């Protein structure tokens, strides 16, 4: 019982003795504060050895009364936990350890422990307490899937239609809430995608401008090469020998001339496109 104060340790011992003797647990709980109650109900220090000898439990006070199948004291502990606002925590905390041999150790919640003991009355007591205090949905959601299926199987065999219907309704409500959450997530995702699409992009304009600027340069370069080759070949055919510098000069002059002409044409076309885009954007703007 590490971590307990002297008062909490005294409360724990009194409750443990009352549980062992099937005494009046409710009377002892009356004067317990919320903090003290939470400490002693969460603490795990009591050990049980089963008759078989190969299985041991480390359990809470609530686990003790569940193990003893003491319905009256189960209800007393759960009722007090509800009054102090800690019922959901008490039922959802996996603090009951079952050890089979050395390699098989499981840690369970009080409800899962009741399932392990295969006692319908114990299970129903925990479920009823959760239902009456409006935490059944949270308690059910906190259990593993295989535990839920075991509970439903036990209730079906016992023909406990009332509790089974409540469990099925909880599952249905939980599934509906999950669908609502999924739909909201999808709607939010679609909205974000639509917002991204509606944002004006300047990437295309930047690329167009770069292409407009680069076209004259590319055309001029190509033409300079063609001019140089043409002059060289022509002179060779005519038997005229010109210095390399003269041929290079002719090529440069051709590149400059063709580049200027291409640049003028490209700028004129680009200007016309920009005017068309500007008119289109002006039409798209809402009238104020």
pLDDT at residue 34, as a whole number:
93
> Residue 157 domain-assigned?
yes
Per-residue pLDDT of the chain (288 residues; tens, 9 = 90+): 568 899 999 999 999 999 999 999 999 999 899 999 999 998 777 776 665 566 788 888 999 898 888 888 998 999 999 899 999 889 888 888 888 776 788 888 888 888 888 878 888 888 888 888 788 888 887 777 767 787 788 777 767 677 778 778 877 887 776 666 555 565 666 666 666 665 555 554 555 444 545 555 555 555 555 555 554 545 444 455 556 555 556 555 555 555 555 556 555 545 554 555 555 554 445 444
- Name residue, tokens 């409750």: 15
Question: Per the structure block, which two tokens stand in for 76?
Answer: 């007393």
> Residue 276 domain-assigned?
no
> Residue 221 domain-assigned?
no
Q: Provide the pairing of β-strand 55-59 with 96-100.
A: antiparallel
> Residue 88 domain-assigned?
yes
What 8-state DSSP symbol labels residue 31?
A: T
> Residue 270 domain-assigned?
no
> Residue 220 domain-assigned?
no
Question: Per the structure block, which two tokens stand in for 240?
Answer: 């005229």
Quickly list DSSP for 174-195. Answer: HHHHHHHHHHHHHHHHHHHHHH
Domain residues for the domain of 63 are: 6-181
58 strand-pairing partners: 47, 97
> Residue 108 domain-assigned?
yes
Q: Where are the alpha helices (DSSP H) in the chain?
A: 6-20, 25-29, 34-42, 61-67, 71-83, 87-92, 110-116, 120-132, 136-141, 145-157, 161-198, 203-238, 244-284
Phi–psi pair at 103, nearest 5 degrees? -100, -10
Quickly list DSSP for 33-76. Answer: -HHHHHHHHH---EEEE-TTSSEEEEE-HHHHHHHTT-HHHHHH
Regarding pTM above 0.75, the answer is no
pLDDT at residue 233, as a whole number:
47
- Name residue, tokens 């839920």: 148
> Residue 112 domain-assigned?
yes
At 99, which helix (H) or strand (E)?
Answer: strand 96-100
Count of structural domains, the chain: 1
């Amino acid at each position: 019982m590490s971590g307990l104060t002297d008062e909490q340790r005294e409360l724990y011992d009194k409750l443990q003795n009352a549980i062992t003797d099937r005494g009046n647990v409710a009377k002892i709980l009356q004067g317990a504060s919320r903090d003290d109650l939470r400490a002693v109900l969460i603490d795990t220090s009591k050990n049980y050895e089963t008759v078989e000898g190969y299985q041991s439990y480390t359990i809470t006070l609530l686990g003790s009364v569940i193990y003893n199948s003491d319905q009256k004291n189960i209800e007393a502990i759960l009722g007090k936990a509800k009054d102090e606002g800690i019922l959901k925590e008490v039922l959802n905390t996996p603090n009951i350890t079952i050890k089979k041999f050395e390699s098989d150790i499981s840690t369970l919640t009080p409800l899962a422990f009741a399932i392990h003991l295969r006692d319908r009355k114990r299970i129903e007591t925990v479920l009823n307490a959760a239902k009456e205090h409006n935490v059944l949905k949270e308690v059910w959601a906190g259990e593993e899937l295989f535990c839920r299926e075991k509970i439903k199987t036990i209730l079906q065999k016992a023909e406990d239609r009332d509790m089974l219907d409540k469990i099925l309704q909880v599952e249905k409500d939980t599934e509906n809430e999950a669908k609502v959450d999924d739909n909201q997530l999808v709607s939010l995702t679609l909205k974000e995608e639509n917002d991204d699409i509606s944002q004006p992009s300047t990437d295309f304009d930047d690329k167009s401008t770069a292409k407009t600027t680069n076209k004259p340069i590319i055309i001029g370069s190509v033409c300079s090469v063609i001019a140089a080759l043409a002059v060289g070949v022509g002179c060779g055919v005519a038997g005229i020998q010109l210095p390399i510098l003269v041929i290079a000069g002719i090529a440069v002059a051709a590149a400059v001339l063709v580049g200027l002409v291409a640049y003028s044409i490209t700028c004129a076309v680009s200007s016309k496109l920009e005017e068309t885009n500007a008119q289109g954007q002006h039409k798209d703007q809402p009238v104020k």
